[in-house]
Amino acid sequence: GTIDLAVIPGDGIGPEVVEQALKVLTRAAGNAGLEVAPTEYRLGAEAWLETGETLSEETMTRLRGHDAILFGAVGADPKSAEVPSGLIEREILLRLRFAFDHFINLRPSRLFPGAVSPLSEPGEIDFVVVREGTEGPYVGNGGVIRKDTPQEIATEVSINTAHGVERLVRFAFEKAQSRPRRKLTLIHKNNVLVNAGGLYARTFDRIAGEYPEVSTDYLHVDAATIFMTTDPARFDVIVTDNLFGDILTDQAGAITGGIGYAACGNINAEGTAPSMFEPVHGSAPDIAGRGVADPTAAVLASALLLRHLGHEAAALDVEAAVERDMAGKGTAPRTTHQVGEAILAE
């Protein structure tokens, strides 16, 4: 078979890390008897400065036709005055997430051998956060009245639908069922956010009945942040809403050695549009152009992409190569290209 792949390298270190990831992806797919047919799309702050376009309808239509999207990072140097703050991220990243219904934001967190956790006794960290991607307080349902007066009122209403919560929770149970420990933790704040939290808890408890092999528990989000520092090994699969998931996954990235190793999938689990896989980090203008960005997160994103498309063996192949590279890498600084080549060799 052939993987019809859209590639959006983006800005800054995006193209640098994507080049390495695409190389590893192509090799792993090849080992599994698959061909990768990439189509590159030039999107991001630099492209916007040249063309005045962030993401046209025509490009959206073309992107929709691919099997999956490999995404680097977009965004200008925040110090640059030419690009309005957040414009590129909103009009490209958020737009793709909503238009392609990426209702699952999947973030595995694993402490690889050789990675350095800031925790003194991290234990075995190997969990997956299943974060909601299209609802909650991020939908833009709010506004400001009496702006710039002492009576200003700002609202940001969290939207949670039975449909949205059900498909999220169901995905999380399937994920937990497929992993050896079969454990699922719901994280919310349902003692205070009784309406949204109640919908989550009731949906979770109802669907739990269909998965008797999965053990379940519940944590309030504030307590969850404590456990993520004191006992991260307790987690297997976490399911949570958009906002809590955003915060928890940054904390999860920090305890597993930092931003250079964190990958995520923006997944449309119903298959009605292509899913998109990316390193969690941004365009890193402070190191862009120097060839020193760590491409590992982008490489791990390509493993998530392979897994999503059903090529589990190829995904494991990539992850095992990263694991061997991390274990043997030593402490000398390496260039982006050197890391990519080392993973390829593994």
Among 69, 93, 96, 169, binds ligand NAI (CB under 6 A): 93
CA 321 – CA 14 distance, rounded (Å)? 21
Binding site partner of 69, from Mg ion, ligand NAI, none, Cβ cut-off 5-8 A by kind: none
326 part of the interface to ligand NAI, by CB under 6 A: no
3-state secondary structure at position 83: coil
Task: State yes or no: residue 135 binds Mg ion (CB under 5 A).
Answer: no
Is residue 222 among the annotated active site residues? yes
**Residue written as token pair 């999956």:** 68
Q: Single out the segment in contact with Mg ion by CB under 5 A; choices: 48-56, 91-99, 130-138, 241-249.
A: 241-249
Q: Count the neighbouring beta carbons within 10 Å of the beta carbon of residue 53.
A: 12
246 touches which of Mg ion, ligand NAI, none (CB within 5 to 8 A by kind)? Mg ion
Answer yes or no whether residue 284 interacts with ligand NAI by CB under 6 A. yes
Of the residues 159, 287, 316, 344, which one makes contact with ligand NAI according to CB under 6 A: 287
What part of residues 242-261 is at the interface with ligand NAI (CB under 6 A)?
259-260
Helix (H) or strand (E) holding 306: helix 296-308
Instruction: Choose among Mg ion, ligand NAI, none what residue 286 binds, the Cβ cut-off being 5 to 8 Å by kind.
Output: ligand NAI
Report the C-alpha gap between 262 and 277 in whole angstroms: 11
By beta-carbon proximity to ligand NAI, the closer residue of 199 and 284 is 284
Here the tokens at position 291 are: 């060839």
Nearest to 17 by CA among 345, 337, 343, 344: 337
Which of the stretches 50-58, 139-147, 239-247, 332-340 binds Mg ion when contact is defined by CB under 5 A?
A: 239-247
Site for Mg ion (CB under 5 A): which residue of 16, 236, 246, 325? 246
> Which helix or strand (DSSP H or E) is residue 144 part of?
strand 142-145
The whole-angstrom separation of Cα 124 and Cα 176 is 17
Pick the catalytic residue from 205, 217, 231, 250: 250
Q: How many CA atoms are closer than 13 Å to the CA of 173, on its beta-carbon side?
A: 20
Question: Which of Mg ion, ligand NAI, none does residue 75 bind (CB under 5 to 8 Å by kind)?
Answer: ligand NAI
Of the candidates 301, 303, 291, 298, the residue with the CA atom closest to the CA atom of residue 337: 291
Q: Which of 11, 101, 236, 246 is catalytic?
A: 246
How far apart CA 36 and CA 31 sit, in angstroms, is 11
- Rule CB under 6 A: is residue 78 a binding residue for ligand NAI? yes
Q: Which of 11, 41, 101, 138 is catalytic?
A: 138
Stretch that binds ligand NAI, among 30-38, 56-64, 74-82, 268-276 (CB under 6 A): 74-82
b/e code 168-197 from CB counts within 10 Å (16+ = b): bbbbbbebbeeeeebbbbbbbbbeebeebb
Pairwise CA distance, residues 96 & 112, whole Å: 31
Please report whether residue 11 would count as binding Mg ion according to CB under 5 A: no
Binding site for ligand NAI (CB under 6 A): 13, 17, 73-76, 78, 89, 93, 259-260, 278, 281-287, 293-294, 297
List active site positions.
Answer: 138, 189, 222, 246, 250
